[in-house]
Amino acid sequence: MWPACVTAQGGAGDAGSGGAADGGSGVVPPCGDGPCAKDEYCDYAYQSCGAYVADVQEDYAGCHPRPTSCNTTVVHPACGCDGQRYPSPCEAYAAGVDLDRQGCASPGPEWFACGPLFCRRHAELCHIEAGDVGDWTWNCVGPTAMCAADPVCDCLVKLPCYEPSFLPSCKDDGQGGIVWLCAF
C-alpha cells in the first residue's frame, strides 16, 4: 500500500488506486455514472485511463476525493494518464490524474518500471498482485530477509502470495530490476 494522502474531507485515501485523466487526447472518459467533481479524481479499472480492457468482467470506475497533501519524503515516481511523470501516486491524484499502467518515460537509469510506478534498482522489488476483476496492485518493496542467501528469484517463487490461490513467478532483468508476480 502507498502512504496515505490527506483529503479535503480530512480522511486518508489509499494512494494505490487511480485518478482522472485524459490520456493526452483532451477527452476525459466517463467515471462510472459520470464525470468527477473538481475536487475528486477517477479511479479507472486496471489503471487503464478509461480505455477498454479485454477480458475484464467489470469495467468499474469511481470518484474519490483528491488528496490535499502528500508525504513528499516518499518518492516513487508514477506515470499519469496525461503522459506526465509525478513524484508519487499521491501527487498524481492531487492533480486529478489516474495512474497509467502502460507507463511513461523513466526518471533515470537507477529506476525500473513496475506497472504505473518506478522502483529503485538493486534496492527494491516490483511486487504485482494480479486479480481478475480490476484489482491489480503494484508495489515497490524492499527485498525480503528470507531471500538474502539465495538468488532472489529462486527464493521468491517459493514464497506464498498474499492471495493463497495465486501462483508466484519472478523475472530478473539482470540489471537490478526484479519483478515478483502473483497471479492466477
74-108 residue pLDDT tens: 788 999 999 999 999 999 999 999 999 888 888 99
Q: Residues 115, 101: one domain? A: no
Whether pLDDT at 34 is above 70 = yes
β-bridge mates for residue 5, sequence order: 13
Please count the helices (runs of H) and the strands (runs of E) in the chain: 2, 13
Identify the domain containing residue 70 by its residue range: 1-105
Q: Residues 48, 133: one domain? A: no
Distance (Å, whole) CA 108 – CA 69: 26
Q: Residues 97, 128: one domain? A: no
Residue 53, pLDDT score: 61
Residue 149, pLDDT score: 61
Whether pLDDT at 19 is above 60 = no
Q: Residues 92, 117: one domain? A: no
59-63, 64-68, 172-176, 180-184: range with highest mean pLDDT: 64-68
Q: How many domains are there within the chain?
A: 2
Distance (Å, whole) CA 180 – CA 118: 14
pLDDT, averaged across the chain: 77
Distance (Å, whole) CA 15 – CA 90: 5
Q: Residues 7, 90: one domain? A: yes
| Strand pairing class (125-130; 178-183) | parallel
Q: Residues 71, 152: one domain? A: no
Q: Residues 8, 83: one domain? A: yes
Q: Residues 90, 160: one domain? A: no
Under a CB-based contact definition with an 8 Å cutoff, are residues 53 and 45 in contact?
yes
Domain termination residue (choose one: 105, 126, 154): 105
Distance (Å, whole) CA 143 – CA 152: 8
Tell me the percentage of the chain whose pLDDT exceeds 90.
Answer: 28
Q: What is the mean pLDDT of residues 110-134?
A: 86
pLDDT tens across 149-174, in order?
666 888 888 888 888 888 888 999 88
Domain termination residue (choose one: 67, 82, 105): 105
Q: Residues 66, 133: one domain? A: no
Q: Residues 122, 74: one domain? A: no
Domain termination residue (choose one: 105, 140, 158): 105
DSSP calls for 25-66: TT-PPPBTTBPPPTTEEEEEGGG-TT---TT-S---EEEEEP
Q: Residues 99, 142: one domain? A: no
Grid coordinates of 161:
502470495
pTM of the model: 0.75
Q: Residues 70, 151: one domain? A: no
Least confident among 14-18, 48-52, 108-112? 14-18
